[in-house]
Amino acid sequence: MTILVTGGSGQLARALGAAAPVAGVPVRVIGRPEFDFDRPDSIARAVAAAAPDLVVNAAAYTAVDAAETDAAAAFRANRDGPAALAALCRAAGVPLIHVSTDYVFDGTKGAPYLETDPVAPLGVYGASKLAGERAVLDSGARAIVLRTSWVYAPTGRNFVRTMLAAARKTRSLRVVGDQTGCPTAAPDLAAAILAIAARLRQEGWQDRFAGVTHAAGTGATTWHGLAVAAFAEAARHGAPVPEVTAIRTADWPTPVRRPADSRLDCARLRGVFGTELPPWQDGLRRTIDALAVAGELP
């Protein structure tokens, strides 16, 4: 089974590109400029050239704040591009795993979200990702929409690396403590996707696979909790521990509101696909270990 992964320079695509060969799964990872949702012809060319047995769409416009003033680009990458990709997958009879986000929810439920809970995105990014989910599911393709959350990795733009970089400049940090979610290490999500791919290989496509499934790190914390845990892990490698003060969302204004509590219930991932992600603390530990090896700790 050859997997085609889009979003080549991104956190998840890189994690899949690293993990698939280790699992003995042929993978082709493509990114811009070769594969660009802003150039629709590049989508068809890439799919035809790879002749995949499974496509994983990890390409997305992920700049949550910038999307507020760049809605057209966000919808091109998060709705129109995935729709075109799904149409190609449908025509070729190839299953598609499309990655989406916890930001389709408004965060007011007060408990982990089920796949069947009502959606209500708070900003353009969430709205564009929701539109992408719907386009993919309406395409007639054999589609699995995986909603994940709070993704980080040893490379790329993410909260954990931002915190460590900040600690190089200051001994005292203020971090939002009233938003709760499920931190997800990209390699853990990649492993879950490979487990799904193995299922597809063994069982062939099953209708129960179709639809939305939540896939995030097990457990939950706040951004403040994640920062404190990251510095505690970094301290094992001798990094100094800054003072981290929990602040309220209202004290850290951003162009777009984030959900206050976007925890994802991942029971369906276990039930349908027989896999789950490890506790978020495990993924964090491995990420900090990798950053230590890369010499990136404060």
To ligand NAP, the closest distance from the beta carbon of 106 in angstroms equals 15
Q: Counting contacts by CB under 6 A, is residue 37 touching ligand NAP? A: yes
CB of 292 to ligand NAP, least distance (A): 21
CA 209 to each of CA 32, 86, 132, 140: distance values in angstroms, whole numbers, following the listed order: 29, 16, 18, 14
Nearest distance in Å: CB 264, ligand NAP: 10
Contact of 221 with 280, CB cutoff 8 Å: yes
Between strands 180-181 and 221-222, the pairing is: antiparallel
Question: Of residues 61, 103, 113, 125, which has the active-site annotation?
Answer: 125
Tell which positions 135-194 bind ligand NAP, by CB under 6 A: 148-151, 156
One of 20, 50, 55, 99 touching ligand NAP (CB under 6 A): 99
Q: Answer yes or no whether residue 12 interacts with ligand NAP by CB under 6 A.
A: yes
Which residues, including other chains, have CB under 8 Å from residue 182's CB and lie 6 or more apart?
A: 102, 149, 150, 216, 217, 218, 219, 220, 262, 263, 264, 266, 280
Give catalytic status of residue 103 as yes or no: no
- Choose, by CB under 6 A, the member of 77, 89, 228, 266 that binds ligand NAP: 77
Is residue 277 within the footprint of ligand NAP (CB under 6 A)?
A: no
- 213 is a contact residue toward ligand NAP (CB under 6 A): no
1 C-beta neighbours (distance < 10 Å), count: 13
Q: Mind spelling out the 3-state secondary structure of 112-137? A: CECCCCCCCCCCHHHHHHHHHHHHHH
Catalytic (active-site) positions: 125
Residues that bind ligand NAP (CB under 6 A): 7-13, 31-32, 35-38, 58-62, 77, 81, 99, 101-102, 129, 148-151, 156
